[in-house]
Structure 1
Amino acid sequence: MSTRRLTALLWTINLSAISASMFVYLYLAQHAYHTLDNLLVSEFVLVAPLVMPVLLAFQLNQVAARVGPRPLLFAANAAGACGCAVLFLATTLSTWSVLIGAAVVGTLDALQRVARIVAIKRYFSAQDVRHTVPLTLTAQFIAGALAGALLAFFPGRLTLSGAALATTSLMGLAAACALWLPHPAPDATGERSTASLTHAVALLRHTPALRDSLLGFVLLGACFQGFYNLSRVALPAHHLGLPGTFHVGVLQITASLAAVLGALAYSALSRRQRAPGLAVVTPVCAIAMLAACELPGVAASFTSYFVYFFCFELAFFRLQSDIVLATPPANMPLVATLQYALVYAGLMLTGGVGALLIGPIGLSGTALCLALGYFAGQALLRWLARRVVTPASAHPTLPEP
């Protein structure tokens, strides 16, 4: 199968699956805020999808390594379609059903995200990875825009049966597209991924490029994506005091548009060997994040939010591409699972602490804490990198699981 067709299939799978997942998260979060009248539950709805991928990280790795990307993408999306039908048609969307539903959908979402990264590593050559990663992942940001558009422009028509129809149809389409993917060729090394924490630590210790990129990715996600999770509902509904779901949807569209343009910009720059450096984009990202909370008016706030998310995505794609390129093929399931587990753990930490901070210090104070935390973490990682001794062997013998 051609590279273009593979990219199109993965793009469609991501678009459909993540549209459904994003819609579930946003629908449940705004339901908790407006119907259950509980800001804290609304914030924890956006944290709940992160719990199980962290607790079951190595089990998810074993599944990804044994099943393979094609059947895993099919199974995760088929199960997600069934789960969404149960959530919207067989529950009353009480506090506990909202939290549990978000956690289940989040676990299946994490499975397909791991399978997506493994598929990119298996299907594409090294020279195609830097261009394929941003182009393939644009689907997830367009997905966010579609979910936001549903909330913004059709709030009165979003019945539970309509939500069930939309989410099950999207995940069903993703499952069907997964069946069109080819069976990837076996890893040329003949090695199998292992799920030992000791093995993962040894892999990072022996591969400094992977270690530095992975830890930088985790820190970036915990702080800047953490603010995104906190602000999706809190910025328009709580901080700016805007009624209804319209502005929640518009903010999601704003973030998704910024992400798509960021992906296209990164792809174009990387083709010219001019990928942006983190030292440039992360300070701009932090300043724009703070400005989104401080500038008065919807237009100024949302414009700053666009700049913040655009810069975040440039940094995101730089680190994600570096991770894929630095990972041995046999270890891609382990690294992808570990990557998401660590990022999700960081998001749980910043999401939980941030949800508690928004009340007493506001969204602006919370954004400042996250920005300072990122740059302090960067300084700590640089300090530790200078003191970590990397084994001299280019092909180290890693411990058996």
Structure 2
Amino acid sequence: MAPYIHAYRGKTFVVGIAGELIAAGKLHFFAQDMAILHAMGIRLVLVHGFRPQVAEQLKAKGLESRFFQGRRITDSVALDCAEEAAGQLRFEIEAAFSQGLPNTPMANSTVRVLSGNFLTARPVGIVDGVDFQHSGVVRKVDAAAIRRANDSGAMVLLSPFGFSPTGEAFNLSMEEVATATAIALQADKLLFLTEIPGIRENLQDPDSPIDTELALADAEKLLGALPAPSQPTDTAFYLRYCVQACRGGVERSHILPFATDGALLMEVFTHDGIGTMVVDEKLESLREADSDDVGGILQLIEPFERDGTMVKRDRTEIERDIATYTVIEHDGVIFGCASLQPYPEAFTAEMAALTVSPQVQGQGDGDKILKRIEQRARGMGLNSLFVLTTRTMHWFIKRGFTPVDPDWLPEARKRKYNWDRRSQVLVKKLG
């Protein structure tokens, strides 16, 4: 978690929670996770939804919710219900962030919640012959006032209500408020905690894995192929807001399942997260190393040097050979590396220091690095690639390497071979 804690201090996150999260009794656990983000110096804006709460209020009056194209039609009775639900939820949210019992995650926490009339709205009007009455859309977000509130150390709470210059109230959607606010603030993250777990890799298979990262171009393409959403559980419902946020300058937008305890922390503080992240470009980068990567490489390989898996390399050696390294990074953190040491007189090269962080092992990063090293070797006109290893020979054999006698090594490398270590030598022909 440490690299993310350092990276996100002082950053701005806008978090939108579906009213279903509160209805499911998850509010106290969610507040604990938000309190941790607040304690780490992250500037927070929380936007709550209230669909089920408004529906419950209407049902108590013997009325049904009415929607068109996924948006609520808000008559005067529905507006009263929305105002009542918003007041109750604001009270519950402020109470949740006021917890402080000993021996709980909220002990010693101080999260001040500040809310107000930060949103100006206008009516939706009549769309395809349907009068949305008191339903509105965001016209303006008072970003300067929200920033001042964050500067004071407070978390800003926004209800899905906006007001016209004449003082008329409009019922807004949580998703639109959160998206407009994130764009206005140029937030670093927009996170939706929702009823769905994210976007699945195979939309026809409800059990297929979640696609943890979508490039904006891919998300736009997917959105274009999906039918218009009519309810929050439709795949396109939250995805369209994530795409809109990224187009508007928000670096990353996320869809997370509120049903998973700790989903917010897992998404923010782990390599692959738990939901789907939409980003303007791939955060994971496979590239050649430069001098700024020396510290990250040292940190990555040090545990493997300590347990004897790898031969120790000092900083001077890595700085000298940095141009030979390939690294794979995610969000500015190096998770894998390898060095290519050519022996052109023998038309071969050694791949050394192949390392993948234990956090991401088994996810294919090692294969990506190997493929890039092979490409670099072919580009040098070399015919083969060899490695020396004491513990990972089976991994290399599965990828086309063949054991050979140490006498096979080029003369310059054979002179440096450590006979006490007795490393196995494996060679792969480059076609």
Larger Rg: 2
Q: TM-score, normalised by structure 2?
A: 0.24
TM-score for both structures, normalised by structure 1: 0.26
Structure having the larger proportion of residues in helix: 1
Question: Could you say which structure has the greater relative contact order, defined with CA pairs below 8 angstroms and 6 or more residues apart?
Answer: 1
